[in-house]
Amino acid sequence: MAISSIHTVVCPVSVKLGAPARVSVRRSLPFNVGEWRGGVSAISGDRPLVFAKAKQRGESVEEEDRVPIEDQLVVDDDDDDDDDDEPFVHFDERDFAGTESVPVYVMLPLGVIDMNSEVVEPEVLLDQLRTLKSVNVDGVMVDCWWGIVESHTPQLYNWSGYKKLFHMIRQLGLKIQVVMSFHECGGNVGDDVHIQLPQWVREIGQTNPDIYFTDRAGMRNSECLTWGIDKQRVLRGRTALEVYFDYMRSFRVEFDEFFEDKIITEIEVGLGPCGELRYPSYPAQHGWKYPGIGEFQCYDKYLMKSLKEAAEARGHSFWGRGPDNTESYNSTPHGTGFFRDGGDYDSYYGRFFLNWYSRVLIDHGDRVLSMANLAFEENCIAAKLSGIHWWYKTASHAAELTAGFYNPSNRDGYGPIAAMLKKHDAALNFTCVELRTLVQHEDFPEALADPEGLVWQVLNAAWDANIPVASENALPCYDREGYNKILENAKPLNDPDGRHLSCFTYLRLNTTLLESQNFIEFERFVKRMHGEAVSDLGLLPRTHETKLE
C-alpha cells in the first residue's frame, strides 16, 4: 500500500481539467489525500523556470524580471483588452525539451486476467492498448498473480491467459514489465478485484496460521507469507524460497521467446504485501487508518524464534520479545512510550530490536533476489519500496519503523537496502513521486508527512549505490500539477551527474485516463518524459471551471 515519493508547491489558482476519479491501486499508499486535485501547481520557486507567457510573445526575460509564482498564475486583468480573449491561463513551467528520454510504461488493470486464466474483454483491452501506443507509450506493466497461475495444485502452472495477453501486447510493438506477484490482491483502497493466495497455500494456513505475518494481538495477515518460513519446509515439503524460485523458473521457461525478443524488459520481484519490500504494518482489514503508525508484524512463531535466538546471541535473552509500549495501529508517535521523542526506540533494547527487525527485511530481499537472478539468467530484475512518508518529520519516523525501514532522524535506513539491491544488480522502484509536501500538510497537518524529503533521501541512496532507479505514482494522477512533479523528480534540475529515472510506470490504465482532456494531458506528459518539445509550454486552456481560490 503502501510506498513510494518527494513533493512541493500549490498555487492560488485551481484549473480543473476534468473530473478526476479514484481508481484501483496495486500498491502502496492506502489513504485518501483529501479530494484528489485537478489544479495547477507551480514548480519549486527556487528553480529557474521558463516564463512561458513572455516566450510566447517572443520576449526575453531576465532573472531579475521574474515575478513571484503567485502573481504569474493568476488571470492578468491588467493586460490589454486582447488578452481577455486569450484561450489560455499562463504560468511558469520548466522546459524538458532535449532532456534525457525516460521510458513510460502503464500498469494494466488488476483483473486483466481472471481466475480461469483468461483475458478479460480482450477486444476492449486491445483498443485501449492501441490508444496507448498512439501516444508512444513504451510499454505496459502486468501483474502475474501467484494465486491464479498456481492456484490449485503445487507446481502445476497455468500461464495460458498471460500468453494470450503477451501476444496481444507484442503485436502492437509494446514492451512488458512483469511483476511476480506473490501477494494477495484486494483489501487496499481502490482495489476492485480480489485474488487470494493459492488455494493449496490457504489450506496449509488453516492448520498452520503461523505461515502468515502476525501482530502483537495475534491477528494474522494473509496478504503474503511471513519471511520466517523462507527456509522452513512447511509448504508441502518445500520452503517459501523454493516455491518462489519454481514459480519464477516456470515463467522464464514458458515465456522464453519474449525474453529472447527483448519484449520483456524487466521482472519486478514481489517481496511482500502489495509486491513491496516491507512488512504489512498498516493493514486496512485490521482497522488501520491514515496516518496511524501501524504495528510491528513479527509475532508468528518462526520470526519470534529468530528474535529469541538473536537476543541470546547478543547475551540478553530477555530481549527476545517485541516491544510492549507501541500502542495500536492508529496511535500517534507521541502517544506511545516507544516512538515518542526520547522514547524506547532509541534505547539499547530498542536499537537491538529495530536492527533485528530491519535485518530480517533486508535478508528476505537478499534471498529472494538471489533466486530471481538464478531463474532469470542475467535479465533485468527490480524490487519495489513503498513511500512511507507520514511521520517523516518526527524523530522516530514511527510508520517507517513498523514497516521495517530503520530510518529515524539519526540513521539512514535506505542505504543498506540500496546496497543489498546493488549486490544483485537489481533496480529500485519507488512510489509517490507525484506527491507534494505542502499538499500533505494542508490535507493532513497532523501526519507530519514529508513525501518530498523521503523521495529525495531514497532516490539519492539508490543513485549513490549506483543502481537504476525507477518510479511510479502512488495515487491516481490526471492533472498537470502531478505530472510536473513527476517530471521534476524524473529529471532533477542541474544535477551535476545528470542522474535521472531509468523509467516511469503510470498507475493505471482505466477509462478515466482515456477521457478526452485527461488523455491530452497524459500525451503531453509522455512527450516531456521523452524529452520532446510541447507547443503549449506554460499554457493551460481556459475553461469555465478556471477560478481563483
**Binding site, annotated residues for substrate:** 143, 183, 191, 384, 389, 431, 473-474, 508
What residue has cell string 507520514? 390
Alpha carbons within 13 A on the beta-carbon side of 423: 16
Kindly name the residue from 400, 472, 481, 488 that is annotated as catalytic: 472
Answer yes or no: 260 catalytic. Answer: no
Question: Which ranges of 230-321 does DSSP label H, i.e. alpha helix?
Answer: 240-254, 256-260, 301-314
3-class SS shares of the chain: helix, strand, coil, % to 5? 35, 15, 50
Q: Which residues have CB under 8 Å from 78's CB, separation 6+?
A: none
Class of residue 474 by CB neighbours under 10 A (exposed 0-12, middle 13-18, buried 19+) = buried
Kindly name the residue from 276, 295, 434, 452 that is annotated as catalytic: 276
Instruction: Give CA–CA dist 382/104, Å, rounded.
Output: 16
Instruction: Give CA–CA dist 52/50, Å, rounded.
Output: 5
Q: Are 431 and 473 in contact (CB under 8 A)?
A: yes
| Side chain identity at residue 355, one-letter code | N
227-244 burial: b if 16+ Cβ within 10 Å, else e: bbbbebebbeebbbbebb
Q: Tell me how crowded residue 35 is: count the other CB atoms within 10 A of its CB.
A: 9
Instruction: Give CA–CA dist 114/193, Å, rounded.
Output: 9
535 φ/ψ angles, rounded to the nearest 5 degrees: -80, -15
63-72 burial: b if 16+ Cβ within 10 Å, else e: eeebeebeeb
Q: Are 510 and 109 in contact (CB under 8 A)?
A: yes
Answer yes or no: 276 catalytic. Answer: yes
Give the Cα-Cα-Cα angle 215, 473, 124 (nearest 5 degrees).
105
Active site residues: 276, 472
